Amino acid sequence: MLAAILYGPNRLELTEIERPAIGDDEILARVLAAAICGTDFRIVSGKKTRGIHYPSIIGHELSGEVVEVGKKVLEFKLGDRIGVAPIVPCRKCLYCRIGLENVCANRQAIGYEFDGGFAEYVRIPAVALESGNVVRLPDSIDFEEAAILEPFACCINGQKKANVSAGDTVLIIGAGPIGLMHLMLAKARGARKVVSSELFEGRRRLAAKFGADRVVDPAVESLIDVAKEETEMGFDVAIMAVGVKDLVGDVLKTVRKGGRVSLFAGFPEGDTSVIDPNVIHYNEIIVTGASSSTRQNFIEAMQMVEYGMVNLKQLISHRFSLREINKAFDVAKSAEGVKILIEP
């Protein structure tokens, strides 16, 4: 089969390899759609190494069709259409026991410890089947939508942590794929007003198209001034969908007393931000992070798409064959692309 093999930092190469052999407790799926995630850039460049080994096949946003079933597997059959929640929890550690399986101390993941979706076929290991990380897709969800359920599930996790609720005013920093997902999700959760801040004009247009009540160019307008103009006392929630350390201090000043700030995006390792702790202290601001998603978040994401609460399909801007994967990464890095699909 053809696979994009990561041999080392900045060495993503197309290679013909043997189709994976499966064990009695495993399944093999033909990959029908795999999406490029911002984290994949960091993996390819060598900036993110946890769980990564060389050589390996990355790609953790994927969907496909079951083409081989181990003889001990009873819950799946040939031809099943599947989506994959990539984070596989141990279900035994403290974090798993207290409902934080997304930050499991022993977590493994498809596209990290296990080979991922940038290939014609993917082996689903027994531990992922045992954990319930593979789900059958409803007929109403196609493979393209299914491939981007995972990042949407991450947004669900983040907005639950920030308690985005009906009637809230929400500021979202960044209108890339994740920022746009947060915008759609906040609207679906009943936010009264959503303001999107984005440097690139094309993405500002997308934010307006996706329902932002106001779109801001932060190079021209102060977010603190925007908060005064658009709200009575400040936003209820601010979500940072970009990992820019120098913005954190100002974002804390855009929310009201008792407001919530989600540092959703990952920041480069070693980055530090200068903030005024009294802004948090006296205003009783709740600051939270968000890491990956749970299996339940993935099911919720699937149900929201199935019931027509969000339209993830509109996020897909480009489609490439597996042979074009390096070109696909170039487009994904640019502001030109939104969600980029690889269709092996």
pLDDT in tens, 95-128: 999 999 999 999 999 999 999 999 999 999 999 9
Among the four given CATH numbers 3.40.50.720, 1.10.1040.10, 1.10.3720.10, 3.40.50.10540, the one describing domain 163-289: 3.40.50.720
If you average pLDDT over residues 217-230, what whole number do you get?
97
Please, what's the b/e burial string for 219-238 (b: 16 or more CB within 10 A of its CB; e: otherwise)? eeeebeebbeebbeebbbbb
Q: Are 243 and 41 in contact (CB under 8 A)?
A: no
> Taking each helix axis from N to C terminus, what angle separates 149-161 and 177-188, rounded to the nearest 10 degrees?
60
Q: Are 65 and 42 in contact (CB under 8 A)?
A: no
- Under the banding of pLDDT at 50, 70 and 90, the label for residue 269 is confident
For residues 110 and 321, give the distance between their C-alpha atoms in angstroms, rounded to a whole number.
Answer: 21
| Residue 49 in this model has a pLDDT that exceeds 80 | no
| 278 contacts: CB under 8 Å, gap ≥ 6 | none
Q: Is there a shared CATH topology between the 2-152+293-342 domain and the 163-289 domain?
A: no
The reported pTM is 0.95
Residue found under tokens 């489609």:
319
The sign of the dihedral angle between the CA atoms of 149, 187, 102, 252 is: positive
Q: In the structure encoding, which two tokens stand for residue 269, read together? A: 């390792």
Q: What percent of the chain has pLDDT over 70?
A: 100
User: How far out from the chain centre does Cα 344 lie?
Assistant: 21
CATH code that applies to domain 2-152+293-342:
3.90.180.10
> What's the confidence (pLDDT) of residue 38?
86
- Per-residue pLDDT tens digits for 128-160: 999 999 999 999 999 999 999 999 999 999 999
For residues 175 and 134, give the distance between their C-alpha atoms in angstroms, rounded to a whole number.
Answer: 30
For residues 343 and 62, give the distance between their C-alpha atoms in angstroms, rounded to a whole number.
Answer: 10
> What's the confidence (pLDDT) of residue 50?
80
Domains of the chain, by residue range, sit at 2-152+293-342, 163-289
Tell me, what DSSP letter sits at residue 166?
T
